Chain A
């Protein structure tokens, strides 16, 4: 107790100074920065080695800025937000630019590797010229770690001794235990040497033997299948003489034949062009877009309406068991959608679901939640209501506390009814705090992939469309279908292009929404 007092007193006596001048704090700061820099350099080293140059540069720049912020006293105010700025850069801004960049590439299945790696893999491929016999090999190793091979052809009975870089010698007889001081490797031993043996060329041109990487104990005059000519940027097939040129990330010959694997390249606007000329866009796109807007707007509206209604109801102090009920109302919010949506799917099942059976018990028949386009939409909105109202309830409850009571007194004196007071005072005042949240909620639901995918994967399917699409598909799930159920597996470049397009749509919508809420705020200032 007393020490605290002393410390406080000491602090009060000393003139307020920047921590940078205190030696202990300075050392601490330098140690932490050094650790951070060490981590960053280590990370950058690994990233550069893996060829992730962009991310390495971003991390480098961010680290430099952090160093500047904590070492330069002019940048003192930035110290408080330094860490969050750094994280923002690495985890938000970099991914955005990375996605935009990806949208201009052919990245995806079939084009996963970099050109360098793809060439390396292609150059690794071997082939056996026609008529060349297969040999069985026995390896010998010298004390210096040099190798030689004893080769035996099972068909012709030919036998050779082959050493790296020397002409092959024909021999007779059985493989001896030792040749010129080279010791024979046992069967158990030789596996440990395969990595070295496979890398060697035994013999001298024109007769060069290589150990097969696929067939155990076999060697032959394998030749490298493809050679990359960097001066012309072409890949030459040594077996046929065909020339492959890199076209859009695939080595392609003049006759149209291609080589696997392809590689990543920038392909310009091709992905966007493909998106805009996709027949799927001309077809169901418009109806999907309309439903997306309805889905997002209706989700926000109904959850807000119910949440606000409940908040006002529980704002009345006379409400019995107010606290308990308030807590209970939060339960749907506490259960993850991954659990509650599948439960709802079960509850709504037309034949076996409890809810459907109850409705059928009262009205004679239950709505076809999964097969009728209209009822599927109602179903998904009901689930949205269940999932979303507690959030709005909590927010509204908080916002209601902040409303000034004198305005209501004035309204009462002026003879306003509670309903008039709600429409003219509560709602406009609430909108100041709630407006931006509603816009955010709209943007979230615009891209609410999880609920749609868990409920019915966008079903029921539309009939007669040009690409597979369902009646409850929103833009995100629809484009997911296009991008990942395309004819060539996962097409990440194309998916990124679609993401950018959706992002632009959202930016436009959000811009107008903010203008609208801004108008609301201006109006509320006049209340």
Chain B
């Protein structure tokens, strides 16, 4: 028995020794950039330094107790490459290494929710503006300043990153759907959705095309521009952002759009219950079975590859111009970052520049949120998508939106399957949304 006691204490000692080992070595940040890369970037650093500060004695040998400082960024693979290059420049100028961690775009949000409060999150993330509700409600984002270039950002994109009257992101790109048609079939672009109906009757009657206009069944995101064309809305927009108490799914404009959709199905221009999804819609357009669709810039590669003639243009209006949802991507700062000012400086001085924004655009061409870059877009299709989103509305980022998607989508499906009258479907959806919002309070 005594032996056992000694053994046990021995065990504890060994265990403690073993635990001490992995605890000690903290991962040292990446060593300074290799010599070859440091040389070309030295010039700007030298230029900037004397501009503001009076000469100092050998900053390199400075003995001040500056803690090991570095900046961490979480980005998806396309942005990560651009940010790494920017980070090198930042390091050359300020001597602060920038660590870019590559993550799947969608994982960034989920991982931040775990790592942020634990103090293991990055300083900066990239993400979509509709994450704001979730991240701000959880206290994960710090307010942001756009700095000197503030007025060069697309106002709608900046607006999208405002939550509860405060700015939480620096936008770099926008995306929205546009109207895409086949010019071999459609000679005159319809200006209104009523004209789309007429054109469909004409083309299908003449046997030029199987189905003139095709849409994804029950997809609210692509239906929203039609709804706004008829004067409808989802949540009322105020100065403070979207108002969850003002649900517009059963507003007269929204119902008018639903009635238009219902008539398209009744007239057979859209096939009731055909369960068209994204792929079917695109396949139909690409092999010439359909002539008009609403789609986003993410579909450009497949349309181009198919060889079908196409033109990207603004979405038809009706009683007013159509307003698609605007999705905005941008940089955000982790509220748990230990060095908020450093993150702010990186964004304001290194990212909010035409050069950096151009690089981000070149890596993944989607309409830039930075006006000088946006105005210079040469690709006519990307420019057309940008133009179609000119008066777009930021997709609501408030948490109440999560209940809207399912109720609203169900209503559109019920109309698409001709199982409920359009006004009944939309009114019921609005009631479901109001009940869920009231129930979660």
Using a CB–CB cutoff of 8 Å, the interface residues on chain A facing chain B are 30, 33-35, 37-38, 41-42, 45, 50, 67, 71, 109-110, 112-114, 117-118, 121, 141, 143, 145, 175-177, 183-189, 191-196, 198, 211-216, 260-262, 274, 278-279, 349-352, 368-372, 459-461, 463-468, 470, 481, 484-491
* Cβ B273 vs Cβ A350 within 8 A: yes
Q: Is B440 an interface residue (CB 8 A)?
A: yes
Give the contacting residue for B139; candidates A260, A369, A470; CB below 8 A.
A260
* Cβ A468 vs Cβ B147 within 8 A: no
* Contact residues in B for A260 (Cβ distance below 8 Å): 136-137, 139
* Cβ A34 vs Cβ B14 within 8 A: yes
Q: Is B101 an interface residue (CB 8 A)?
A: no
* Cβ B275 vs Cβ A216 within 8 A: no
* Contact residues in B for A351 (Cβ distance below 8 Å): 271, 274-276, 280
* Cβ A121 vs Cβ B139 within 8 A: yes
* Cβ A464 vs Cβ B14 within 8 A: no
Q: Considering the chains assembled together, what is the distance between the CA atoms of A370 and B419 in angstroms?
A: 12
* Cβ A486 vs Cβ B48 within 8 A: no
* Cβ B137 vs Cβ A467 within 8 A: no
* Contact residues in A for B45 (Cβ distance below 8 Å): 188
Q: Could you write out 14 A-B pairs with CB less than 8 Å apart?
A: A45-B19, A109-B134, A186-B53, A188-B48, A189-B56, A191-B341, A192-B95, A352-B283, A460-B419, A461-B410, A485-B402, A485-B406, A487-B244, A487-B438
Question: What's the least CB distance linking A473 to chain B, in Å?
Answer: 11
Question: What's the least CB distance linking A427 to chain B, in Å?
Answer: 40
Q: Is B143 an interface residue (CB 8 A)?
A: yes
* Contact residues in B for A461 (Cβ distance below 8 Å): 410-411, 413-414
* Contact residues in B for A192 (Cβ distance below 8 Å): 66, 69, 94-96
Interface stretch, picked from B5-13, B171-179, B255-263, B368-376, is B5-13
Interface stretch, picked from B75-83, B322-330, B344-352, is B344-352
* Cβ A195 vs Cβ B402 within 8 A: no
A-B complex: 4 closest residue pairs judged by Cβ atoms: A261-B139, A371-B273, A38-B18, A487-B440
* Cβ B145 vs Cβ A214 within 8 A: yes
* Cβ A216 vs Cβ B341 within 8 A: yes
Given A71-B8, A351-B275, A485 contacting B403 (CB threshold 8 A): yes
> Which of A112, A278, A369 has the most chain B CB atoms closer than 10 A to its own CB?
A112
Q: Considering the chains assembled together, what is the distance between the CA atoms of A485 and B57 in angstroms?
A: 60
Q: Which residue of A lies closest to B64 (CB)?
A: A141
Given A213-B344, A216-B344, A463-B420, A489 contacting B11 (CB threshold 8 A): no
Question: 9 new A-B pairs (CB below 8 Å) besides A34-B18, A463-B428?
Answer: A110-B138, A143-B64, A188-B48, A198-B340, A216-B147, A216-B348, A467-B435, A468-B403, A488-B399
* Cβ B19 vs Cβ A371 within 8 A: no
* Contact residues in B for A110 (Cβ distance below 8 Å): 137-138, 399
* Contact residues in B for A215 (Cβ distance below 8 Å): 145, 344
* Contact residues in A for B275 (Cβ distance below 8 Å): 349-351, 369-371
Question: What's the least CB distance linking B344 to chain A, in Å?
Answer: 6
Using a CB–CB cutoff of 8 Å, the interface residues on chain B facing chain A are 4, 7-8, 10-12, 14-19, 22-23, 45, 48-49, 51-57, 59, 62-67, 69, 93-96, 113, 117-118, 133-134, 136-140, 142-145, 147, 218, 244, 271-276, 280, 283, 335-336, 338-342, 344-345, 348-349, 399-400, 402-403, 405-407, 410-411, 413-414, 416-417, 419-420, 424-425, 428-429, 431-432, 435-441
* Contact residues in A for B118 (Cβ distance below 8 Å): 50
* Cβ B432 vs Cβ A466 within 8 A: yes
Give the contacting residue for B57; candidates A183, A195, A211; CB below 8 A.
A183
Q: Secondary structure at chain B's binding surface: helix, strand, loop or mixed?
A: helix
Given A41-B16, A214-B145, A459 contacting B413 (CB threshold 8 A): yes
* Cβ B59 vs Cβ A186 within 8 A: yes
* Contact residues in A for B17 (Cβ distance below 8 Å): 38
* Cβ A481 vs Cβ B406 within 8 A: yes
* Contact residues in B for A372 (Cβ distance below 8 Å): 273
* Contact residues in A for B340 (Cβ distance below 8 Å): 198, 213-214
* Cβ B341 vs Cβ A488 within 8 A: no
Give the contacting residue for A112; candidates B7, B65, B138, B441; CB below 8 A.
B138
Give the contacting residue for B399; candidates A109, A262, A369, A481; CB below 8 A.
A109
Given A113-B139, A145-B64, A368-B273, A486 contacting B402 (CB threshold 8 A): yes
* Contact residues in B for A486 (Cβ distance below 8 Å): 402-403, 436, 439-440
Give the contacting residue for B402; candidates A368, A463, A489; CB below 8 A.
A489
Q: Considering the chains assembled together, what is the distance between the CA atoms of A419 and B417 in angstroms?
A: 46
Give the contacting residue for A187; candidates B53, B67, B218; CB below 8 A.
B53
* Contact residues in B for A211 (Cβ distance below 8 Å): 341
* Cβ A489 vs Cβ B137 within 8 A: yes
Q: Considering the chains assembled together, what is the distance between the CA atoms of A461 and B137 in angstroms?
A: 31
* Contact residues in B for A460 (Cβ distance below 8 Å): 413-414, 417, 419
* Cβ A198 vs Cβ B341 within 8 A: yes
* Cβ B48 vs Cβ A113 within 8 A: no
Q: Considering the chains assembled together, what is the distance between the CA atoms of A216 and B146 in angstroms?
A: 11
Question: What's the least CB distance linking A185 to chain B, in Å?
Answer: 7
Q: Considering the chains assembled together, what is the distance between the CA atoms of A71 and B4 in angstroms?
A: 8
* Cβ B144 vs Cβ A214 within 8 A: yes
* Cβ A38 vs Cβ B137 within 8 A: no
* Cβ A112 vs Cβ B133 within 8 A: no
* Cβ A145 vs Cβ B65 within 8 A: yes
Question: What's the least CB distance linking A136 to chain B, in Å?
Answer: 11
Give the contacting residue for A189; candidates B10, B59, B411, B441; CB below 8 A.
B59
Question: What's the least CB distance linking B18 to chain A, in Å?
Answer: 3
* Contact residues in B for A114 (Cβ distance below 8 Å): 117
* Contact residues in B for A196 (Cβ distance below 8 Å): 65-67
* Cβ A191 vs Cβ B67 within 8 A: no
Question: What's the least CB distance linking A276 to chain B, in Å?
Answer: 12
Q: Considering the chains assembled together, what is the distance between the CA atoms of A262 and B276 in angstroms?
A: 42
Question: What's the least CB distance linking B75 to chain A, in Å?
Answer: 21
* Contact residues in B for A488 (Cβ distance below 8 Å): 137, 399-400, 440
* Cβ B66 vs Cβ A193 within 8 A: yes
Q: Considering the chains assembled together, what is the distance between the CA atoms of A467 and B441 in angstroms?
A: 16
Q: Which residue of A lies closest to B68 (CB)?
A: A192
* Contact residues in B for A194 (Cβ distance below 8 Å): 339, 341-342, 345
Give the contacting residue for A195; candidates B51, B342, B416, B437; CB below 8 A.
B342
> Which of A37, A192, A350, A485 has the most chain B CB atoms closer than 10 A to its own CB?
A192
* Contact residues in A for B65 (Cβ distance below 8 Å): 145, 196
> Which of A33, A262, A351, A484 has the most chain B CB atoms closer than 10 A to its own CB?
A351
* Contact residues in B for A491 (Cβ distance below 8 Å): 440
